[in-house]
Amino acid sequence: MAETVLLTSGASPAPPAPPRSFTWDEIKPRSGRAPERWLVIDRKVYDITQFHKRHPGGSRVISHYAGQDATDPFTAFHIDKTLVRKYMKPLLVGELAADQPSFEPWKKKQLTEDFRELRGTVEKMGLLEPNHIFFFLYLAHILALDVAAWLNLWYFGCSLVPFLLSGVLLGTVQAQAGWLQHDFGHLSVFGSSRWNHWVHKFVIGHLKVSNLEPQQINLEPLGRRLGSLRGWQCDPHIFVFCRIIESHWFVWVTQMNHIPMNIDYDQNVDWVSTQLQATCNVDQSLFNDWFSGHLNFQIEHHLFPTMPRHNYWKVAPLVKSLCAKHGIEYQSKPLLTAFADIV
């Protein structure tokens, strides 16, 4: 009896139960409009019924992929996947059954597999790695234009020509700062989300909209005392003129490459087809790249949203080849044609 007890107490623990297996027919009903919401990433099934409310990227974007394979958008939007997967562990409820495909049977199998192979090639080529010198010089050119605008007013005064020149320079500063904050917002400048978010707040908070309410420091008394010295600022007219330039710049650029070719409910098609349905490119040139903040490569930007913009031209030929192979239109227009299409 004692020997039996000893053997029992020294026995190895029971092996963990095998993960539950699911079919696509079980996963599909648990969509973004259902009480239960599941999604699939790399064949793993996750229950996001409660988590979607706490998703850092917002409830809608993750709920959009409920009931679907979300491998490609997950890979596209997260730069530190190891950290993210740590938070995903409690959500894991099982995996796809062995006889189930890695993504929905109705999606384009060869296109999806070819794109994932392309993604691997992009990573091996280092196209997701930022060139910090590029972004430093880009920030420097914004600051230089800003200083030039104010020096122009300080030296030449507020007559018509200096006023117009400084307004154009400041409008350019605002537009280019907008493209730069967009880079940080897409986590494409630093390898850390924290650093991207911190510098993003600096650019958007200090270069673009520094005059926020409520004021943390009351500068009104100082302004009244120095009022006689502030005439050269042409305040507030210079800011109105600058804002007109910047707002028109922003609208024309963002609309020229976001023209939906087909407006419909979500059809749950593959990642590549989804991104190319509502985007188009504008032909590359040094001016177009600078003017649009490289958003003339909108197709590449949508397929690889965390890719640093200075690498878009390198991946563009690979994307063109993928589209040609699968009969998908890769649309690229001259700048003026893109503007005309908006109208």
Q: Which residue has the higher pLDDT, 279 or 42?
A: 42
SS3 128: coil
Could you tell me if 67 and 170 lie in one domain?
no
Share of residues in the chain with pLDDT > 90 (%): 61
Q: Is the pTM of this model over 0.85?
A: no
**Do 280 and 332 form a contact (C-beta atoms < 8 A)?**
yes
What pLDDT band is residue 4 in, cutting at 50, 70 and 90?
Answer: very low
Looking at 106, 128, 144, which one is the last position of a domain?
106
Q: Is residue 212 scored above 60 in pLDDT?
A: no
Q: Which residues pair with 95 in a beta bridge?
A: 21, 44
Report the pLDDT value the prediction gives residue 215, as an integer from 0 to 100: 53
Over residues 118-134, mean pLDDT: 96
Looking at 106, 123, 146, which one is the last position of a domain?
106
Query: Lowest-pLDDT range, 9-23, 112-126, 225-239?
Result: 225-239
Could you tell me if 178 and 51 lie in one domain?
no
Could you tell me if 213 and 306 lie in one domain?
yes
What pLDDT band is residue 214 in, cutting at 50, 70 and 90?
Answer: low
Over residues 38-55, mean pLDDT: 96
What pLDDT band is residue 218 in, cutting at 50, 70 and 90?
Answer: low
Report the pLDDT value the prediction gives residue 119, as an integer from 0 to 100: 97
Structure tokens at 257: 């490459």
Could you tell me if 197 and 86 lie in one domain?
no
Share of residues in the chain with pLDDT > 70 (%): 83
SS3 123: helix
Could you tell me if 137 and 97 lie in one domain?
no
Report the pLDDT value the prediction gives residue 278, as an integer from 0 to 100: 78
**Count of domains for the chain:** 2
Q: Is residue 7 part of a domain?
A: no
Q: Is residue 7 scored above 90 in pLDDT?
A: no
Instruction: Please state, rounded to an integer, the average pLDDT across all residues of the chain.
Output: 86
Report the pLDDT value the prediction gives residue 153, as an integer from 0 to 100: 87
Q: Which residue has the higher pLDDT, 330 or 196?
A: 330
Q: Is residue 225 scored above 90 in pLDDT?
A: no
**Do 267 and 67 form a contact (C-beta atoms < 8 A)?**
no
* CATH at 98: 3.10.120.10
Could you tell me if 300 and 171 lie in one domain?
yes
Residues 6+ apart with CB under 8 A from 151: none
Over residues 202-231, mean pLDDT: 55
Over residues 168-179, the pLDDT tens digits come to 999 999 999 999
Over residues 20-39, mean pLDDT: 93
Over residues 40-51, mean pLDDT: 96
Report the pLDDT value the prediction gives residue 295, as an integer from 0 to 100: 95
Q: Is residue 14 part of a domain?
A: no
Q: Which residues of 204-214 are buried (b: 16+ CB within 10 A; e: fewer)?
A: beebeeeeeee
Over residues 140-177, the pLDDT tens digits come to 999 999 999 999 988 888 888 989 999 999 999 999 99
What Cα–Cα distance (Å) separates residue 301 from each residue in 104, 222, 294, 310, 312?
A: 25, 46, 9, 11, 7
Q: Is residue 15 part of a domain?
A: no
Over residues 293-310, mean pLDDT: 96
**Do 233 and 35 form a contact (C-beta atoms < 8 A)?**
no
Residues of the domain holding 35: 21-106
